[in-house]
Amino acid sequence: MRRRVLPGFGLSLGYTLTWLCLVVLLPLAALAWKASGIGFEGVARLFTSPRTLSALKLSFGGALLAAMANVVIGLVVTWALVRYRFPGRRLLDALIDLPFALPTAVAGIALTAIYAPNGWLGQWLVPLGIKVAYTPLGVLLAMVFVGFPFVVRTLQPVLQSLERDVEEAAESLGATGAQTFLRVILPTLVPTLLTGFALSLARGVGEYGSVIFIAGNIPNRSEIAPLLIVQRLEEFDYATASALGIVMLAFSLLLLVLVATLQRWTRRWAEPAT
Amino acid sequence: MTLALKQLTRQFTELAALDDVSLDIEPGEFIALVGPSGSGKTTLLRILAGLDYPDRGTVMLNGRDFLAANARERNVGLVFQHYALFRHLSVRENIAFGLRVRPRKRRPPRADIRTRVDDLLKRVQLDGLGDRYPSQLSGGQRQRVALARALAVEPEILLLDEPFGALDAQVRTALRRWLRELHEDLGLTTVFVTHDQEEALELADRLVVMNRGRIEQVGSPQEVYQAPATPFVCEFIGRTNKVALRRDGDAWRAGAWSIPGPGTAGSAVAYIRPEHLALAAADGGPGWDAQLRHIYLAGSVAHLDVHVAELDLSLEVDMASDQLGGLAPGALLRVAPLHGVAFADDCTRWAWGTGLA
């Protein structure tokens, strides 16, 4: 092996694997073992039940939509924060992290209070036919709220380090503002936006606290998969809860691998020559 | 196609980046803007590129107001110090960029773009590397891609902002020669910004020496080197020895050496190039007695560090290294300035020796 400036490959890899086993793999193995308790018949019954399917659809569909929305909103917000100087910019910058710091239940209650039919915004929206609280739209809103900082915080350093002379070169070559953005700036941001997308997606799928308040948890309509798991746990049906967990895990892993593959493809220009 | 710059002034908060700069750039000319950092040369280039605007002054191209067009419409080719390539695009796509972003009416057909990119790749000696990404190229190759990209849009003027500044010395010299040849092939009006006076002397038809937002001198490399117009040019272009002179009747004197010269001022400073100091054996003609302290051999030329005791001054003398003979540190010599330029306290300038203005 090549000599390196800092030795310690063996030590660091051993440490990594040990922790990975203790903290991640072992609990997952226990989960799988627990889940095997319900047998094939149990699995079949569980995943043909419309209630389970609708909850899974809401959790993953909602998280995907929320992540997409976050990519767009996050890009706009980060652009404003990085490119312009305006009064209150630092305050706004600090506020971005608030969804990280807030206990998720508090966020859920706050969102519900605003969007409930008698809330500040709800009382105006409901007569227009836009119901947010206690509907899938509310679930989506809560997921956007908690996932939003991920996009901003991953994008911010990248946008800051973009070289201005590249934009000047594009302009000098005759590109319009829109062409410069779409052909020069955006493609270099896509890999980072995908990172933000993946983080936001993962957070949305796993989100519990803020969603359950605003969702209303109507079976087959606004009930998320993590809530189903909690309900099974409360009934001491650990096997079914674990089976649901395993399915969520597998699906999340699949999505994240897909995003990572896509990201690698969008970064092909950074690979060394073959 | 003369580009006429008139009384350009650009003020940044603290500093006058350009202070009443006027200059005519002839068609097909290779002009170098040279000066230390902060001298305004890059600001001038950015104004020509449409990336900055002067507070006062005009730029006319064939009688049309050049400043009225924005950067997109200027039709200039711009090359940056740090290449500014589009890193997510291949070399081909980089070069084709300026053609692809044209509005549909003016955009050449796909096949034409392809041929033009192929031609340019050949011209910048990068054929076969078209499908690489910029991160997979060396610095010199990247800068040639940047140049090809700028040439692809068939600009009227080529603007280069310290294009070789980030490259190592050998690549820099090679690219310099290559750029000069390219310029002779294309005959494109070229404005080249550099802080490297050697690069400017070697490349340009005309030098514009800038200092603190003002033009100190405009002239051919020979004029600027042989007949510097101001003390700044003497010190910035090439190497020079500074000798203080005193008024002595009709002549100016420094120690045992004197030269007839005009003026009524009491003191002056003479600038003498190292190669214009002649060495002779001791006691031969007018000059200073000196002691050789050190010889710095730099290939074909030797730089001699010579100390003149009566002036308490160290002088640098250049001579061909095969003329050194048995010279060794400690030898006693006689040094005489053959040519030089002097500036008196009252700003009068005069020169002595042959071939100097």
Strand partners, B318: B303
Report the DSSP pairing between strands B157-161 and B76-79: parallel
Mean residue pLDDT across chain A: 90
Could you tell me the domains of chain B?
3-232 (3.40.50.300), 239-352 (2.40.50.100)
Chain B nearest CA to A249, separation (Å)? 34
Interface touch B82/A168, C-beta < 8 Å = no
Interface touch B134/A269, C-beta < 8 Å = yes
Residues of A in contact with B78 (CB under 8 A): 168-169, 172
Q: Average of pLDDT values for B71-86? A: 92
Nearest-5° Cα angle at B222, B221 to B228: 90
A102-141 pLDDT, tens digit per residue, is 888 898 999 999 998 888 888 888 888 888 888 999 999 9
Q: Average of pLDDT values for B185-191? A: 92
**pLDDT score of B325 more than 60:** yes
Residue of B75, B52, B53 whose CA lies nearest to B62: B75
- ipTM for the predicted complex comes to 0.85
CA B302 – CA B224 distance, rounded (Å): 23
pTM for the predicted model, two decimal places: 0.83
Residues of A in contact with B98 (CB under 8 A): 173-175
Interchain contact B129–A (C-beta under 8 A): no
A207-256 pLDDT, tens digit per residue, is 998 999 998 888 888 899 999 999 999 999 898 999 999 989 999 999 99
CA A213 – CA A112 distance, rounded (Å): 7
Strand partners, B304: B295, B317
Strand-by-strand arrangement of the B332-337 sheet: B277-280, B332-337, B288-298, B301-308, B313-320
Distance set, CA B301 to CA B261, B290, B310, B321, B333 (Å): 32, 20, 27, 5, 19
User: Please, are residues B317 and B335 in contact by the beta-carbon 8 Å criterion?
Assistant: yes
- Give the nearest chain B residue to A270 (CA atoms): B135
Q: Where are the domains of chain A?
A: 1-38, 49-270
CA B41 – CA B199 distance, rounded (Å): 15
From the CB of residue B256, how many other CB atoms can be counted at a distance below 10 Å? 13
Strand partners, B333: B290
What's the CATH fold of domain A49-270?
Answer: MetI-like fold (1.10.3720)
Confidence class of residue B357 from pLDDT cuts 50, 70 and 90? Answer: very low
B344 three-class SS: strand
